Structure 1
Amino acid sequence: MIEDCTALILAGGESRRMGQDKANLVLDGQTLLQRMVNIVQPLFAEVIVSVRQPRREVALPQVCDNPTQAGPLAGLTAGLERAKTRWVFAVACDMPFITPALIEYLARQRADWQAVVPRVGGYPQPLAAFYAAACLPAVHDCLEGNGKHSLRALLDTLPVRYVSEDEMRVTDTELASFFDLDTPQDVRQAMRQR
């Protein structure tokens, strides 16, 4: 169990490229949301689901994005405000192959940082990352500021521990954890891989 941390599953996206609600897509007999719940629930004492509107089919605590805000940053904000722990692990529901071993490895990197973020292909992966509750003022500033209202803009303002591909390959040799389902083609590829 990863102590002093809440898992936050982001399931409130608009799924424009997919053309349907990604959280309810079925892979290996489970919706993507249920699959993610099954991955993170054994690792964290509390799991929260971030949604745009309440989902009746979800038995876990839910937080709704502020209707005046949009995107994953709004979901992270709602989750950080709701969590009672010092840390939140934010993960998108469309990453069906993320491994518990990788999550545990990232958790061990937290130390005195305000965020622990994987970097794959030279890009940060802010939706498979740990965020300290202490970064909530910076999150609010990012949402209310005149700049970009994105997770990547937020990371530019925080002390971040970026975790390299080489480090993560110890627990996930192919980095399959970072295969996310954005389009119908991604879903077909995921079904072929299973």
Structure 2
Amino acid sequence: MIDDATALILTGGDSRRMGRDKATLVLDEQVLWRRIAETVRAVFPHVLLSVRRPRVEFDLPQVCDAFENAGPLAGVCAGLEAAATPWVFAVATDMPFLEPRAIELLATRRGGYEAVVPVVGGHPQPLAAFYAVECASAARALLKADGPRSLRAFLERLRVCRVDESELRGADPALRSFIDLDTPQDLDAARSEPSPRNSQRP
């Protein structure tokens, strides 16, 4: 277990391309938010759900965005401010193939940094990443300021360890951890391809 970190599952996205709430989509007879919760609960003793407003169907602790229409940075900020641990691992609810070994690899790279971010295909993955809670003030300042209020802009203000895919493949050879379901076609593809579940699933 990674005892000094809290898992933060972001469930408050607009889901514009999907056309419906991603958190409640079903894959392998399980809603996505519950699926990702099972994964992170095998790694972290503390789990929070980031929501825009309280949702009675979620039976895990929730944190609400303090900033309206501010995207995932608002959810990350709320999680950083609510966590009782020094670190937060933020993950999107639409990443159903997250591999615990990939999380554990990222956790080993935290020394001396404020964030640890995987890079896949040359693109940072800020919603499968570790953030130090001491960065909450930087996130809040960015949300209050004029200009871009994005995770990319947030990372530009932090000391970031970027973990390249060549390293990530040691924990997740196919890099399935970083597949996200953005469209109905993505969901159909995930449903049609038999894939092993994460090793912790009973």
The TM-score with structure 2 as length reference comes to 0.94
Aligned twin of 1:118 = 118
SS of the counterpart of 1:23?
Answer: helix
Equivalent-residue separation in structure 2 for 1:142 and 1:26 (angstroms): 35
The TM-score with structure 1 as length reference comes to 0.97
Shift of 1:142: 1.4
Equivalent-residue separation in structure 2 for 1:158 and 1:93 (angstroms): 24
SS of the counterpart of 1:186?
Answer: helix
SS of the counterpart of 1:130?
Answer: strand
Q: Which moved more, 1:171-180 or 1:133-142?
A: 133-142
Equivalent-residue separation in structure 2 for 1:61 and 1:179 (angstroms): 25
Q: What is the total number of aligned residue pairs between the two structures?
A: 194
Equivalent-residue separation in structure 2 for 1:68 and 1:151 (angstroms): 16
Shift of 1:192: 1.7
Q: Which moved more, 1:67-76 or 1:148-157?
A: 67-76
- Paired amino acid for 1:48: L
**1:58 aligned onto 2:58:** yes
Equivalent-residue separation in structure 2 for 1:123 and 1:146 (angstroms): 25
Fraction of identical pairs, as percent: 57
Equivalent-residue separation in structure 2 for 1:133 and 1:78 (angstroms): 10
- Paired amino acid for 1:130: F
Kept in 1: contact 2:9–2:91 (CA 8 A): yes
Equivalent-residue separation in structure 1 for 2:43 and 2:63 (angstroms): 20
Aligned twin of 1:151 = 151
Task: Provide structure 1 residue ranges, at least 5 long, that are not aligned to the other structure.
Answer: none
Equivalent-residue separation in structure 1 for 2:17 and 2:4 (angstroms): 35
Shift of 1:161: 0.2
SS of the counterpart of 1:103?
Answer: helix
Aligned twin of 2:198 = none
Aligned twin of 1:186 = 186
- Paired amino acid for 1:132: A
Equivalent-residue separation in structure 2 for 1:68 and 1:18 (angstroms): 21
Kept in 1: contact 2:115–2:132 (CA 8 A): yes
Equivalent-residue separation in structure 1 for 2:68 and 2:105 (angstroms): 35
SS of the counterpart of 1:63?
Answer: strand
Equivalent-residue separation in structure 1 for 2:13 and 2:130 (angstroms): 19
Aligned twin of 1:28 = 28
Q: What does 1:61-80 align with in structure 2 at a 5 Å threshold?
A: 61-80=61-80
Q: Which moved more, 1:63-72 or 1:106-115?
A: 63-72
- Paired amino acid for 1:94: D
SS of the counterpart of 2:131?
Answer: strand
- Paired amino acid for 2:16: R
SS of the counterpart of 1:39?
Answer: helix
Equivalent-residue separation in structure 1 for 2:189 and 2:176 (angstroms): 12
Task: Provide structure 2 residue ranges, at least 5 long, that are not aligned to the other structure.
Answer: 195-202
